[in-house]
Structure 1
Amino acid sequence: MTTGVVWDGAADLPTVLVFDPAPPSGPAELPPAWRALTDRRQVVWCRFAVDRALAEADRLLGDPDAFGRPIDAVVHGDPSDVLDVLRRHAGPLRAVVVVDAEPGAVWEVPGVRVVTVGRSHTPPRAITGDAVSADVTGALDALDADDLGEAVGPERQQERTDTDE
């Protein structure tokens, strides 16, 4: 039996849930290009072309204790069945990172930030590759920095207000 969902990285780390559209091939493991990210994130890889993999990701997203926070999802293109799962579980999601979006394409997951990386490619880049991993890692780092800025910003303003009195 082929496993469609695999993960690596400590359970208490922020989670990146990658939806890989490629048909199953080779062993069910995290692609080498994504392994370096596991020191900072729990990487969950869903090969959604594998039977029941998308249902498993759906179930895991519905379990409040399954993943560390924040949870960011990564999609390639606009797989409607994956977007349906993400829309059902928008609550725990911080962002959806869309890889190699078509010009003018809009993805909407209510209440969730949508970030696009790369550009439209023909043929599309493999989500397992080094360049896509680097693009997504950069987007996740920017999201973390934004969140840190939002968390620190009001405190800094409050500190300035307190010292001005």
Structure 2
Amino acid sequence: MRDFTEPARATGPGVVADGPAGATTVLVIDPAGEALHDEIPATWRTLSDRLRIVWLRVPAAPEWRSTVDKVLTRHRDDTRTMLDIVTSGPIAADVIDLARGHEDLVRSVLLVDPEVEVDDPFVRVVARSQDVPDDRVPAPLPLGHPYVVFGVAEALNQLG
């Protein structure tokens, strides 16, 4: 399991976003804190022409749970808003619990290498790391990894 406690991960913006306002929103809650440079990772930019991608960097936003809860509560009555959440590994259970309180707004929770068993109709595992000796990327896969982007895009296409 990767270590997400590096001090450099706490620097930079807490949230970055890209994509058209009013589009379906993908909220990426990233425990690793990628997107250090005020932009979403380059691998995700191909999706930003049709999706609003909001990337929350957990190491730079230690109060992320209350921030996400406030944002979701603020949009609760907006029937135009549709939200999918992507997260990974160590915070998957927390994100699922948070999303359960907003099931009217959250269409799906898409997980990468979750550390919990998944048994919810609106939760899907979209990518898993390879558990082989020559794997160079330890679990959980970075949310900017091309396999993750592919899995998210595929899941969103299936959801319609």
Question: TM-score range with shorter-chain normalisation?
Answer: 0.7 to 0.9
Q: How does 1:15-164 map to 2 (within 5 A)?
A: 15-23=25-33, 26-50=36-60, 51-64=62-75, 69-79=81-91, 80-101=93-114, 105-108=117-120, 113-122=122-131, 123-124=138-139, 125-144=141-160
Between 1 and 2, higher relative CO (CA 8 Å, sep ≥ 6) is seen in 2
Aligned residue pair count:
140
Partners in 2 of 1:12 and 1:23 — Cα distance? 25
**Structure with greater helix percent:** 1
Partners in 1 of 2:51 and 2:20 — Cα distance? 7
Q: Name structure 2 gaps, 5 residues minimum.
A: 1-10, 132-137
Q: Name structure 1 gaps, 5 residues minimum.
A: 145-165
Partners in 1 of 2:56 and 2:78 — Cα distance? 14
TM (norm. structure 2) is 0.73
Partners in 1 of 2:13 and 2:48 — Cα distance? 19
Give RMSD over aligned pairs: 2.7
Larger Rg: 1
CA drift of 1:120 comes to: 4.4
Q: Identity of aligned pairs, percent?
A: 36
